[in-house]
Amino acid sequence: MRFDPDKLRSEFPILSTHPGGRPLHYLDNAATAQLPRAVLDAVSRHETESRANVARGVHILAERASMAYEDARGAMARYLNAASPDEIAFTQGTTAAINIAAQGLGAGFKPGDEVVLSELEHHSNIVPWQLLRDRTGIVLRVLPVTDDGRIDLSALDRVLTKRCKLVALAHASNVTGAVTDVARVVEAARAVGARVLLDGAQAVPHGPIDVQALGIDLYALSGHKMFAPNGIGVLWGRQEVLAQMPPVFGGGGMIRHVTFDATTYADPPKRFEPGTPPIAQAVGLGAAARWIEALDRESVVAHELRLTGRMLNGLAGIAGTRIIGPTGLQARRGVVSFALEGVHPHDLCQWVNDRFGVALRGGHHCAEPLMRRFGLDGTSRASLAPYNTDADIDALLEGVADARRHLA
C-alpha cells in the first residue's frame, strides 16, 4: 500500500486516545508496538467464529481453529522466507524461543564447549546460556562493544575458537539500535564449525526477514514487537537443526506415543509446542505479518530513518545529553537511548509523560552488562514505528529540553 504516516496512524485505535487530555506520543515501540485494526479484527473474528482447541477435533470449530493456526504458521514461514512451515515453532516470545534453543542445543554440548555472546545482548540472550553453563560446564565467551554501541566484530578472530559450538547475537540492539553485520558473523562461525542464532526481536518489526539469505541456523522473535498480540513468538530453525534438538517441555501435542515405559516424540515443530497453544495470538501474529508485508517498505524505512535523524540531531543539541549508540543512520534502527546529565532516566520519562504526553522507556532495558560498559545505571529510550510522525519527535525534544531546565 502507498505509505502515508497519518493515514497509517488512523489504523491504530489506541493512538487516537488522549490520556490526560493530550495527544499520545507513543515512542516505546521497542518494548511493545501497538495493534492495527487488521490484527484486532483477525483476533476478534477468530474468537467469535472459530474458538476451539487445535488438532484432533473433528467438529467444525476445531477444524476452523486448526486451519487458522496453521495458516498463521504459513504466514510466518513466508515472512521469514523459511524453507517450510515445519521450520516455524510457535513460542511465548523471544525469551521462550532462546530458552528452547539453549536447552535443545545444549543437550548435545559437552564441558568446555563454547558459546559466544556479545556485551550488548538482552538478558534473554544471556541468562539461558548461563543456566546451561552452570548445568553442563560449557564456557561463555563475550564479544566487546565499540564506543558507538556496536558489536566489535574485529574481535571475532580472537574470541571464536575451535571449541565454539554456537554464536548467539542480537540482530539489532534494543538499546543502541545498531544492526549486526550478520554476514561477517556467519563467515567467522562457519570457519570454526559453529552455528549461529539471532535474537530478532528488534529486527522483525522493520520488514520481512530472509533467514535463508542470512545463512543462519536459528532465529527468535516476539509478536508484541511486530504489531501482534502479547504471548506469542517464533523459534525458526533449519529443519536439520530442529530435528537434532530434543523437546524441552513435555505434555500433550508434542508426542507420537506414550507408555509408562517410554515416549516417542513428534517431529518439529510440534515437538516444541506442548499443550494448548496460544491460538488466537498466533492468528494475530499471522495477520501482523501480512499487514507489514503490505506496507511500502522502502518508504517506511526512509520515513523511520528521517525521524531517527531528527531525534539524534535534536537530542545532541540539548546540553548535557549523551547518546548511547551510533549517532549516524548507517546500519541502525530507530531506537535511540540517551542519558541526561543530572536526571535519572525514570524521572525524565515521568516528566515527559506527565507534561507532554510522550511515552518512553527508562532503565537498563534488560541489558545491564551494556550499561556497565558505558558507566551508566540506565538510559531513557525512544523507539519508532511507522505510525510515528514529526509531531512525536517535536514533543519528545520539547519534553527533554523542559526536563533539562527543571530537573538537571
Distances (CA, A) of 393 to 203, 308, 389: 21, 9, 7
Domain 5-30+296-407 architecture:
Alpha-Beta Complex (3.90)
pLDDT score for 200 = 98
Among 128, 168, 118, 175, smallest CA distance to 364 is for 175
Q: Which three cell numbers stand for residue 37?
A: 485494526
Residue among 366, 401, 407, 408 flagged as catalytic: 366
Task: Specify the fold of 41-293.
Answer: Aspartate Aminotransferase; domain 2 (3.40.640)
Strands 164-170 and 25-26: unpaired
Q: Which three cell numbers stand for residue 52?
A: 476451539
**pLDDT per position in the chain (408 positions), as tens?**
567 888 999 999 999 887 777 889 999 999 999 999 999 999 999 999 999 999 878 999 999 999 999 999 999 999 999 999 999 999 999 999 999 999 999 999 999 999 999 999 999 999 999 999 999 999 999 999 999 999 999 999 999 999 999 999 999 999 999 999 999 999 999 999 999 999 999 999 998 999 999 999 999 999 999 999 999 999 999 999 999 999 999 999 999 999 999 999 999 999 999 999 999 999 999 999 999 999 999 999 999 999 999 999 999 999 999 999 999 999 999 999 999 999 999 999 999 999 999 999 999 999 999 999 999 999 999 999 999 999 999 999 999 999 999 998
Whole-number Å distance between alpha carbons of 322 and 307: 18
Strands (E), 178-318: 195-199, 218-222, 233-237, 255-258, 263-265
pLDDT score for 236 = 98
Distances (CA, A) of 169 to 98, 329, 341: 11, 21, 30
pLDDT score for 17 = 83
Whole-number Å distance between alpha carbons of 386 and 298: 11
The pTM of this model reads: 0.97
Q: Which three cell numbers stand for residue 327?
A: 549517532
Whole-number Å distance between alpha carbons of 138 and 129: 9
Q: Residue 386 half-sphere exposure, CB side, CA atoms within 13 Å?
A: 31
Residue 366: active-site member: yes
Instruction: Number of helices (H) and strands (E) in the chain: give both, helices first.
Output: 14, 15
With left for phi above 0 and alpha for psi between -120 and 50, is residue 137 left, alpha or beta?
A: left
The 10 Å Cβ neighbour count of residue 5 is 19
Question: Which residue's C-alpha cell is 526536563?
Answer: 403
The 10 Å Cβ neighbour count of residue 84 is 12
Helix axes 37-49, 60-80, angle to 10 degrees: 150
Instruction: Please state whether the peptide bond connecting residue 268 to the residue before it is cis, i.e. omega within 30 degrees of 0.
Output: no
How many residues are listed for the chain in this entry? 408
pLDDT score for 1 = 52
Phi, psi dihedral angles at 34 (to 5 degrees): -85, 170
Domains 5-30+296-407 and 41-293 share a fold: no
Return the domain boundaries, the chain. Answer: 5-30+296-407, 41-293
